[in-house]
Amino acid sequence: VQLVESGGGLVQPGGSLRLSCSASGYTYSTNCMGWFRQAPGKEREGVAGMSTSGGGTYYADSVKGRFNIPQDNAKNTVYLQMNNLKPEDTAMYYCAQRPTCRLYNWDDPSYYNYWGQGTQVTVS
C-alpha cells in the first residue's frame, strides 16, 4: 500500500488549497480514507474522512463548512479541498487508510494502517 500526498504550500489567510492523496497497492474503492494534520508540539488530529464506497463523510468541527473531501475513484485519489484558510490550519497534513470508517472513531489515528509522507500547509 502506498499513499502519496501533494499540493501543500504557503497561502495567505482566506485563501484556498487542494491537497491530493494518490493511493495504490490495494482496492481503493472499498476502504476508508482520512486526512489528518499535526502542528509542532500538538497531537495529530483528524480533519476529514470518507468511505470510498460512498458510505459517508466526516469532518472535524474546526473545519466544517470550510473543508471538503472529494474523490476521484478512477484515479484512486482523494482530495482535501481547503477554503477560507486560517493561520491555525498551519500544519503537516497526512492522508491515511483503514479498512472501514466508523462514525465514532474516524478521527482516531491509531485505527489507520497506512500513512503518506505528509505535505506542509502554511497559512501566513
Rounded average pLDDT over 89-108: 95
CA-CA distance, 84 to 12, in Å (whole number)? 9
Residue 65 CB-density burial (10 A; 0-12 exposed, 13-18 middle, 19+ buried): exposed
Interatomic CA distance for residues 113 and 49, integer angstroms: 14
Statement: residue 22 has pLDDT above 90: yes
Look at residue 109 in the predicted model and tell me its pLDDT.
Answer: 96
What Rg, from alpha-carbon coordinates, does the chain have?
13
Q: What is the pLDDT of residues 68-88, one digit of tens each?
A: 999 998 999 999 999 999 999
Average predicted confidence (pLDDT) for the chain: 94
**CA 96, CA 83: separation in Å to the nearest integer?**
21
